[in-house]
Amino acid sequence: MNASKSLLRQPGLVSIGLLAIVLLVVFPALLDSFRLNLVGKYLSYAFVAIGLVILWGWGGVLSLGQGVFFGLGGYAMGMFLKLEASDPETTKIQSTPGIPDFMDWNQITSLPILWEPFHSLTFTLVAVVAVPMILAFLVSYAMFKRRVGGVYFAIITQAVALIMTTLIVGQQGYTGGINGMTDLKTMMGWDTRTDSAKLILYYVCAAMLLLCVIGGSWVQRSKFGTLLLAMRDKEDRVRFSGYDVAMFKVAAFCVAAGLAGVGGALFTLQVGFMSPSFVGIVPSIELVILCAVGGRLSLVGAVYGALLVNASKTLFSESFPDLWLFLMAALFIGVTMAFPYGLAGLFESHVKPWWNRRVQERRTIRARLRDDELAAKSPPLEADPTGASAIAVQPDGPGSMVIRRGTSGTA
Rounded to an integer, the average pLDDT of 65-81 is: 95
For residues 195 and 64, state if they share a domain: yes
Q: How many structural domains is the chain composed of? A: 2
Q: Which residues pair with 405 in a beta bridge?
A: 390
pLDDT of residue 380: 59
d(CA 408, CA 145): 81
pLDDT of residue 224: 92
For residues 140 and 253, is the Cβ–Cβ distance under 8 A? yes
pLDDT of residue 379: 63
Residue 297 lies in a domain: yes
Q: Which of 7-16, 201-210, 297-306, 353-362 has the lowest mean pLDDT?
A: 7-16
Residue 360 lies in a domain: no
Q: Which of 9-18, 117-126, 143-152, 226-235 has the lowest mean pLDDT?
A: 9-18
Position 372 pLDDT exceeds 90: no
pLDDT of residue 10: 42
Rounded to an integer, the average pLDDT of 44-50 is: 96
Give tens-digit pLDDT for 172-182: 989 999 999 98
DSSP state of 115: G
For residues 49 and 135, state if they share a domain: yes
pLDDT of residue 79: 95
Position 410 pLDDT exceeds 80: no
Nearest to 221 by CA among 56, 57, 16, 10: 10
Integer-rounded Cα radius of gyration of the chain = 30
Of 353, 369, 402, which one is at a domain's C-terminal end?
Answer: 353
For residues 15 and 142, state if they share a domain: yes
95, 101, 103, 107: CA torsion to nearest 10: 30
- In sequence order, what are the residues at sequence separation of 6 or more whose Cβ sits closer than 8 angstroms to the Cβ of residue 82? 100, 181, 183, 184
Amino acid at the residue 229 = L
Position 136 pLDDT exceeds 90: yes
For residues 258 and 399, state if they share a domain: no
pLDDT of residue 357: 79
For residues 299 and 201, state if they share a domain: yes
pLDDT of residue 203: 96
Rounded to an integer, the average pLDDT of 123-144 is: 96
For residue 404, give its domain range.
384-411
Residue 374 lies in a domain: no
- pLDDT band at 411, cuts 50/70/90? very low
Average pLDDT, the chain: 85
Position 398 pLDDT exceeds 70: no
Residue 368 lies in a domain: no
pLDDT of residue 324: 78
For residues 110 and 22, state if they share a domain: yes
Nearest to 35 by CA among 150, 198, 181: 198
For residues 264 and 318, state if they share a domain: yes
Compute the C-alpha angle 306/308/311, nearest 5°: 100
Position 120 pLDDT exceeds 50: yes
Q: Can you tell me whether residue 74 is helix, strand or coil?
A: helix
For residues 96 and 37, state if they share a domain: yes
More confident residue, 220 or 75: 75
For residues 410 and 273, state if they share a domain: no
More confident residue, 284 or 411: 284
Residue 314 lies in a domain: yes
Position 157 pLDDT exceeds 80: yes
For residues 243 and 176, state if they share a domain: yes
For residues 35 and 98, state if they share a domain: yes
For residues 256 and 39, is the Cβ–Cβ distance under 8 A? no
pLDDT of residue 246: 93
97: domain CATH number is: 1.10.3470
For residues 23 and 105, state if they share a domain: yes
